[in-house]
Chain A
Amino acid sequence: ETGVTQTPRHLVMGMTNKKSLKCEQHLGHNAMYWYKQSAKKPLELMFVYSLEERVENNSVPSRFSPECPNSSHLFLHLHTLQPEDSALYLCASSHAQWGTGELFFGEGSRLTVL
Chain B
Amino acid sequence: DQQVKQNSPSLSVQEGRISILNCDYTNSMFDYFLWYKKYPAEGPTFLISISSIKDKNEDGRFTVFLNKSAKHLSLHIVPSQPGDSAVYFCAATRNNNDMRFGAGTRLTVKP
Complex contacts, A97 vs chain B, CB 8 Å: 96
Complex contacts, A96 vs chain B, CB 8 Å: 96
Give B33-66 interface residues, CB cut-off 8 Å to A.
Answer: 34, 36, 41-46, 49
Contact check, A45 vs B100: say whether CB atoms are below 8 A apart: yes
Q: Please report the total number of A residues contacting B with Cβ < 8 Å.
A: 28
Contact check, A105 vs B43: say whether CB atoms are below 8 A apart: yes
Stretch of A14-22, A48-56, A71-79 that contacts chain B: A48-56
Judged by a CB distance under 8 angstroms, whether B88 is at the interface is: no
A98 to B91: give the CA distance in the assembly, Å: 15
Contact check, B49 vs A102: say whether CB atoms are below 8 A apart: yes
Give 1 or 0 for each of B80-111: 1 = CB within 8 Å of chain A CB: 00000000010001001111111110000000
Judged by a CB distance under 8 angstroms, whether B69 is at the interface is: no
B102 touches which of A42, A55, A94, A106 (Cβ 8 Å): A42
Using A42-B4, A42-B102, A43-B89 as known contacts, say yes or no to A98 and B96 having CB atoms under 8 A apart: yes
Interface residues of A (CB under 8 A from B): 4, 6, 31, 35, 40-43, 45, 48, 50, 55-56, 90, 92, 94, 96-98, 100-108
List 5 tightest A-B contacts by C-beta distance, closest first: A105-B43, A43-B101, A98-B96, A102-B46, A42-B101
Interface residues of B (CB under 8 A from A): 2, 4, 9, 32, 34, 36, 41-46, 49, 89, 93, 96-104
What are 10 pairs between A and B in contact, CB < 8 Å? A6-B43, A31-B97, A42-B100, A45-B100, A56-B97, A97-B96, A101-B96, A103-B46, A105-B43, A105-B45
